[in-house]
């Protein structure tokens, strides 16, 4: 838990909630704040299994997973490749195109080229969404409605990443589908008061309304679950994940990204969906733990 990413604060909240649930279930769990000495801590505590509660870089991007594979410590969630692909929004969207998973149109830029040409333009119609390629929690994201806003949006995203994603703005509903052990959970509709589900709207009480189940037709509801499961499976994810989507004006769902390490406080989106499906938070945590494994075979 914790870690060194910009999502450290959220990771600590997730880790504390998971630790409490595991303790209540009778597991001899300990919390480890991830830093440069993580290997020494794992050895000292004689860790036999790792429940990952890290959001963002060096935790959700395959790096910690690779280390645990080398140490032969089973861990929860997705493996190295799936984690890395899902975290990199540009590569993930290219993957979606190959697998015919509907996703909004997009363009990719590098920070260096945007600096050389401050008035760089996108071929996508405005409004458009500009975001860093490898950040979570809507960090560095802007909605660009006028051409003069594009430069500042590039600059903002470039403060967080060398690669920048410009994505078509979808005018429908924002929805999310939790996946637990290859089973889609009930869909949640996200309605921020500000109209933009940014960091403040996500983590400030009362700033966002969550509607469960989402208010879309049964046909589109099932379609959203189907393409979310396909994204989960084709990326090679395992255990648990949350797929974020937007719908167009006709309620057709489009995958925005896949979170291989979704928030896991008792009020987070995936636990909300699980609770609605009849899975209490403590049971959800235990099921995720029991699915822990190594994903790379040693060949021995």
Q: Which CATH number characterizes residue 203's domain?
A: 3.30.470.20
* CATH at residue 30: 3.40.50.20
Residue 293, in any domain of the structure? no
For residue 300, being part of any structural domain is answered with no
Is residue 140 located within the same domain as residue 198?
no
143 is a domain residue: yes
Q: Furthest-apart CA pair in the chain: how many Å?
A: 59
Judge if 267 and 179 occupy the same domain.
yes
pLDDT of residue 221: 97
- How far is the C-alpha of 263 from the C-alpha of 237, rounded, in Å? 16
**pLDDT (tens digit per residue) in 214-230:** 999 999 999 999 999 99
Residues 33, 94 share a domain: no
What pLDDT score was predicted for residue 203?
58
Mean pLDDT estimate for the chain: 90
Per-residue pLDDT tens for 232-256? 999 999 999 999 999 999 999 999 9
pLDDT(57) > 90: no
- Judgement on whether residues 270 and 164 belong to the same structural domain of the protein: no
Domain end point (choices 122, 140, 168): 168
- Pair (176, 242) in one structural domain: yes
Q: Please report the pLDDT score of residue 107 as a whole number.
A: 92
Domain residue limits at 115:
106-168
Say yes or no: 98 and 117 in one domain.
no
180 plus 42 within the same structural domain = no
Q: Which of residues 220 and 8 earns the better pLDDT score?
A: 220
In a domain, 114, yes or no: yes
- Structural domain contains residue 296: no
Q: What is the mean pLDDT of residues 107-118?
A: 80
5 has a pLDDT exceeding 90: no
Mean pLDDT of 188-210: 73
**Distance, CA of 233 to CA of 228 (rounded, Å):** 9
In this prediction, residue 161 carries a pLDDT of 87
In a domain, 299, yes or no: no
Q: Give the model's pLDDT for residue 298.
A: 64
Pair (194, 234) in one structural domain? yes
Distance of CA 56 to the CA centre of its chain: 8
Structural domains counted in the chain: 3
- Whether residue 188 is found in the same domain as residue 88: yes
* Assigned domain for 44 exists: yes
Instruction: Tell me the pLDDT band of 59, cut-offs 50, 70 and 90.
Output: confident
What average pLDDT does this structure show over 45-58? 92
Q: How confident is residue 52, by pLDDT bands cut at 50, 70 and 90?
A: very high
The pLDDT value recorded for residue 64 is 95
- Residue 157 belongs to domain with CATH number: 3.30.1490.20
What residues contact residue 34 under an 8 Å CB cut-off, 6+ apart? 1, 2, 3, 4, 54, 58, 59, 64
Range in 5-19, 222-236, 272-286 with the lowest mean pLDDT: 5-19
| Residue 163 shares a structural domain with residue 249 | no
pLDDT of 120 above 80 = no
Do residue 130 and residue 252 come from a single domain? no
Domain final residue, candidates 168, 191, 206: 168
The pLDDT of residue 266 is above 60 = yes
Q: Which of 143, 168, 193 is the last residue of a domain?
A: 168
pLDDT given for residue 53 in this prediction: 93
Q: For residue 26, give both structure tokens.
A: 């009778």
Is 217 inside any structural domain?
yes
Check whether residue 254 and residue 206 sit in a common domain.
yes
pTM: 0.89
Q: Is the pLDDT of residue 268 over 60?
A: yes
pLDDT for the residue 134:
82
């Amino acid at each position: 838990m914790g870690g060194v990413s910009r999502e450290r604060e959220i990771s600590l909240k997730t880790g504390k909630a998971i630790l409490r649930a595991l303790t209540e279930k009778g597991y001899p769990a300990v919390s480890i704040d991830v830093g440069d000495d993580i290997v020494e801590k794992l050895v000292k505590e004689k860790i036999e299994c790792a429940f990952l509660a890290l959001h963002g870089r060096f935790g959700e991007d395959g790096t910690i997973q690779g280390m645990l594979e080398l140490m032969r410590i089973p861990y929860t969630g997705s493996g190295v490749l799936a984690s890395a692909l899902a975290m990199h929004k540009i590569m993930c969207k290219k993957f979606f195109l190959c697998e015919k998973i509907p996703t909004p149109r997009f363009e990719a830029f590098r920070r260096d080229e945007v600096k050389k040409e401050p008035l760089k333009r996108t071929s996508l119609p405005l409004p458009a969404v500009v975001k860093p390629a490898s950040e979570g929690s809507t960090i560095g994201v802007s909605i660009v409605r006028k051409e003069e806003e594009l430069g500042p949006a590039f600059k903002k995203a470039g403060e967080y990443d060398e690669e920048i994603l410009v994505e078509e703005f979808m005018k429908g509903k924002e929805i999310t589908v939790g996946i637990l052990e290859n089973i889609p959970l009930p869909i949640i509709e996200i309605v921020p008061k500000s109209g933009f589900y940014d960091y403040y709207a996500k983590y400030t009480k009362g700033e966002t309304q969550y509607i469960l189940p989402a208010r879309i037709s049964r046909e589109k509801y099932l379609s959203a679950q189907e393409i979310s499961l396909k994204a989960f499976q084709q990326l090679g994810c395992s255990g648990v994940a949350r797929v974020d989507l937007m719908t167009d004006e006709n309620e057709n769902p489009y995958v925005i990204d896949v979170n291989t390490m979704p928030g896991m406080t008792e009020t987070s989106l995936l636990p909300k969906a699980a609770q609605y499906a009849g899975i209490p938070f403590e049971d959800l945590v235990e099921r995720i733990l029991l699915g822990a494994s190594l994903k790379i075979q040693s060949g021995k």
